[in-house]
Amino acid sequence: MPRFAANLTLLFTEVPALQRAELAAQAGFDGVEILFPYDHPVAEWEKSVAGLPVALINTPPGNWGAGERGFAAVPGQEDRFRDGFLRAAEVANRLNAKRIHVMAGVARGPEAEQIFRENLAWACASAPGQMLTVEPINPDDMPGYFLNDFDQAARIIQDLSLPQVGLQYDVWHAARIHGNATAVWAAHRDQISHVQIAGFPGRHEPGGGGFDLTALCREIDEMEREVWIAAEYRPARATVHGLMWLQALKGRSRPIGA
């Protein structure tokens, strides 16, 4: 059965960040993901998660308010990427995070792709025991982001042929970019190593948009590799009052989604 992670950046925001892991465990999540665990000392996060599995963290994005979204594909920012990645790798090691999402940043063109490839290869060599992901993000939510197409991401992963690097599949971004999240899953499922879910079209509680989450769980059941399903959505109300989808998917009592 897939394991479900609560995204502590978006869920349980009714309480401070360091108190959210406890609520996630009480709600029935198997683990958590933390987009940017850099605003608190890692020792505080260790105490917060208290042994609860951490499915994923992101590399540092830089100055978010100034429009920075990571540096892995940004020409001239190789040192900033590498310093940030080493910081992420240290945090991931302390938290035993399963994967690090390598944020590409705002860039475009052949030079950006070459730098992205080189930085991914460097990251794999620098943290040989750490699994990494890359994630296409839709241009409405993140204008100018280098990685904005699942076919593009799949091609880069295939060309690099680095076992540490997998595709991060977010139902929301797949639907926004390509119009059909189911087709994206079918085309790239063999490269996918981490899944994020949200409702469509509102990005609230998972379900809708013609995507069958129950079928997704069945397919992940059959995979020989571990693939977490992370809840990365904006709750329409208090998080604990909108978790029927989690209970249904864990119990598989009825179809959810389509």
> What is the C-alpha separation between 79 and 243, in angstroms, rounded?
42
| Furthest C-alpha separation in the chain | 52
> What is the C-alpha separation between 161 and 250, in angstroms, rounded?
34
How would you class 12 by CB atoms within 10 Å of its CB: exposed for 0-12, middle for 13-18, buried for 19 or more? buried
Instruction: Give residue for tokens 């680095």.
Output: 162
Taken in order 133, 138, 140, 146, the sign of the CA dihedral is: positive
Q: ω before 143 within 30° of 0 (cis)? A: no
Q: Please pick, among 118, 135, 205, 226, the residue that the annotation labels catalytic.
A: 135
Annotated catalytic residue 232: yes
Annotated catalytic residue 205: no
Nearest to 175 by CA among 258, 110, 119: 258
32-47 as b/e, with b when 16 or more CB fall inside 10 Å? bbbbbbbeeebeebee
Q: Please pick, among 33, 113, 205, 232, the residue that the annotation labels catalytic.
A: 232
Are 16 and 45 in contact by the 8 Å Cβ rule? The answer is no
Residues involved in catalysis: 135, 232
